[in-house]
Amino acid sequence: MARYQVGLQTEAKIIDATRSLLAEGGLEATTLKSICERAEVRSGSFYNLFDSKEEAILRVVRESIEAVDPDPDGAGTDSVDDLVRAYIRFFSEEPQLARVYVVAALNGDSTGESASRRFLRHHLRRVERFADAMARSDTHLGRDEATVKAELLLGALDGLAFRWSLEPEFEFDKYALLAAERLK
Amino acid sequence: MARYQVGLQTEAKIIDATRSLLAEGGLEATTLKSICERAEVRSGSFYNLFDSKEEAILRVVRESIEAVDPDPDGAGTDSVDDLVRAYIRFFSEEPQLARVYVVAALNGDSTGESASRRFLRHHLRRVERFADAMARSDTHLGRDEATVKAELLLGALDGLAFRWSLEPEFEFDKYALLAAERLK
DNA sequence: CTCAAACTTGGGTGTATACTCAAATTACGT
DNA sequence: ACGTAATTTGAGTATACACCCAAGTTTGAG
């Protein structure tokens, strides 16, 4: 752990380098060498602050997972529209983190064996939150039906997000709103 | 290229090994060593039949991309339901190829620089085909509107497919039908 | 049956990777 | 300013990877 100012700065440079590399070229491009070059740091410095390459990558991945779902304690107040808007905002305001999010979701094995397991847990939490919002807006809706609808909407949103990662010109926001309108 | 029977058999064993490895552990797990071990072949034999590891992987990826969209010449006759059913059938009858399909879609860089470009091209062809079917079933629908609807439905289907790849128990068929019903 | 060509073998090459460490330098509480 | 502990350096280690090749074995057309 960094204790001095310089150490904290180096840590930040390393995290920045890791994030941009993950966003640009996925795990493939995120080697120790490329991280150190971009961060302008020698490998010994890296290992003075991080136990492994994994650790740096995991920090960035966690950062992206948390960023997609802000205010996790606020559950019980957001509407479906709020949640969808937050998702859209994430993609337009944090495209780099958003790309990391998509990349992370897909690489099951690479980041420790449980990367996809972590992602699944995160997804299930999100489904619950969407289902809550749906049940709140329609009192006739049973819990199970709300969960099904939430899976459907989130599945669609994630698919559109993936589509956007294939082609950044894809109007993710437009399609996300359409999906929400028809599936909520 | 294989010329003798034994050569063809070895080729098949290598392709089978590559496919199952890709399905089980993605590109990460698909090393020359693991392919040769599973195919019960020495590396020299591999290189007698394939120019590179890439070639074997690409063959399997292409196989999966073609399998998801059968009868590509039949455009102009299928209904939206036909297309959705074909997609669902692919996932239930060829789960291994389906997993390769999802894995391939996600790994932009790894299989040559244009893996995601190839996937995008394939996706756009599919969008057109879905849009055709939609325009056919609803004569009031403009071409652009049909394309938008097709992107929406295919995005949702791909998202649900990804969801299934995270958790094989996920009832992909059920959700795919629901999505089609609401988005077609 | 013959023999050239296809196929197999398995050790060997070169390169990239993640990670280590002793020695030198720098930061900062006292 | 001093001294300790944090930080940096860069050469060095070990390992995994894709790929090569000379020497043998097997195949199958004529």
Q: What is the pLDDT of residue B22?
A: 94
Per-residue pLDDT reduced to its tens digit, B41-75: 999 999 999 999 999 999 999 999 999 887 777 77
The pLDDT tens digits of the residues spanning A54-100 come to 999 999 999 999 998 877 777 778 899 999 999 999 999 999 999 99
3-state secondary structure string, chain B? CCCCHHHHHHHHHHHHHHHHHHHHHHHHHCCHHHHHHHHCCCHHHHHHHCCCHHHHHHHHHHHHHHHHCCCHHHCCCCCHHHHHHHHHHHHHHCHHHHHHHHHHHHCCCCCCCCHHHHHHHHHHHHHHHHHHHHHHHCCCCCHHHHHHHHHHHHHHHHHHHHHHHHCCCCCHHHHHHHHHHHHC
CATH class of B5-50: mainly alpha
For strand C, which nucleotides have at least one atom less than 7 Å from a protein CB? 5-12, 16-22, 26-28
Q: Is B54 on the interface with A (CB under 8 A)?
A: no
- Chain B residue at shortest CA distance from A168: B120
Rounded distance in angstroms from the CA atom of residue B52 to the C1' atom of nucleotide D18:
8
Chain A CB within 8 Å of residue B69 CB: no
The pLDDT tens digits for B93-106 are 999 999 999 888 77
If contacts are CB pairs under 8 Å, which of residues 135-164 in chain B contact chain A? 148, 151-152, 154-163
B74-133 tens-digit pLDDT: 777 889 999 999 999 999 999 999 999 988 877 654 455 567 788 899 999 999 999 999
Residue of B nearest to A106 (CA): B106
How many Å apart are CA A135 and CA B8, to the nearest integer? 58
CA distance readout (Å), B70 to A115, B90, B126, B170: 33, 9, 11, 24
Contact B160 A159 (CB under 8 A): yes
Considering all nucleic acid strands, name the nucleotide whose C1' atom is nearest to the C-alpha of residue A32: C18
What local confidence, expressed as pLDDT, does residue B31 receive?
A: 97
The residues of chain A scoring below 70 in pLDDT are 107-114
Residues A129 and A154: beta-carbon distance below 8 Å: no
A108 touches chain B (CB under 8 A): yes
pLDDT in tens, B123-179: 999 999 999 999 999 999 999 999 999 999 999 999 999 999 889 999 999 999 999
Question: In this structure, are residues A84 and A180 in contact, taking their beta carbons and an 8 Å threshold?
Answer: yes
Query: What does the pLDDT read at residue A109?
Result: 47
Domain boundaries, chain B: 5-50, 61-183
Distances (CA, A) of B94 to A109, A149, B63, B82, B107: 22, 27, 11, 17, 20
- On average, the pLDDT of chain B sits at 92
